[in-house]
Amino acid sequence: MELVDVLNKMKQKTGNICKRNELKSGEYRLSAHIWIMNEENKILIQKRNNNLKMYPGMWENAGGAVISREDSITAIKREVKEELGIKIDIEKLTFIASFKRYKDFVDVFYIKDDIKIKDINLKKDEVEDVRFVSFDELYKMYENKEFAKSSFEYFKMYITEYLK
């Protein structure tokens, strides 16, 4: 089980550490999510394993919990390497926004890079499949309830605004 730094409502570390799913009322953890776009302006999405608790079999973007003593950039590098088996160039990484959800703060990043499907090595217990989709395809997947609702909502709020 991953240990996370406990944050207060102001996104400040409290000095406490706990298991990621054992936060008390008024405590938060940090998560980091990334939207990866290729040179053809298509978005890399991944299909969650059907055995996962949250959003089983749904499509979403890469990301996850920031473990204790990590910052969100380090977590993004780790999560992308763990889930997709690829390294990202942090020099190309752009911070987009941070927002608060029920039990976490989410730092959202964007990267445009020349990533190829053939270079991806999935962690099958978390990710079943990956593909690149256009903006229109992503919207259709959301309408068809194939794409995780929360991921799509902050895509609309932050990424589409950034790319304008």
Q: Kindly give the pairing relationship between strand 127-133 and strand 62-65.
A: unpaired
**What pLDDT, on the 0 to 100 scale, is given for residue 157?**
73
Q: What is the mean pLDDT of residues 54-77?
A: 94
Mean pLDDT of all residues belonging to the chain: 92
> Could you tell me which residue, 98 or 160, shows the higher pLDDT?
98
Q: What is the mean pLDDT of residues 146-156?
A: 81
128 with 49: CB under 8 angstroms? yes
Q: Which of the four pLDDT bands, split at 50, 70 and 90, describes residue 143?
A: very high
**What pLDDT, on the 0 to 100 scale, is given for residue 163?**
66
**What pLDDT, on the 0 to 100 scale, is given for residue 54?**
83
Amino acid at 90: I
For residue 164, is pLDDT > 60?
no
**What pLDDT, on the 0 to 100 scale, is given for residue 162?**
66
**What pLDDT, on the 0 to 100 scale, is given for residue 24?**
95
At the second CATH level, the architecture of 3-163 is Alpha-Beta Complex (3.90)
Amino acid at 74: T
Q: What is the mean pLDDT of residues 119-139?
A: 93
* Burial class for 92, CB neighbours closer than 10 Å (0-12, 13-18, 19+): exposed
Q: Which of the four pLDDT bands, split at 50, 70 and 90, describes residue 123?
A: confident
**Can you tell me the distance from the alpha carbon of 153 to that of 12, in angstroms, rounded to the nearest whole number?**
25
Tell me, rounded to whole angstroms, the distance of Cα 53 from its chain centroid: 16
| Phi–psi pair at 28, nearest 5 degrees | -135, 165
Q: Which of 81-95, 96-110, 139-153 has the lowest mean pLDDT?
A: 139-153
**What pLDDT, on the 0 to 100 scale, is given for residue 85?**
96
Nearest to 43 by CA among 104, 152, 113, 132: 132
105 with 71: CB under 8 angstroms? no
Number of residues in the chain: 164
Q: What is the mean pLDDT of residues 77-100?
A: 94
Amino acid at 44: L
43 with 137: CB under 8 angstroms? no
Q: Kindly give the pairing relationship between strand 29-37 and strand 104-112.
A: parallel
The end-to-end CA distance of the chain, in Å, is 39
For residue 74, is pLDDT > 90?
yes
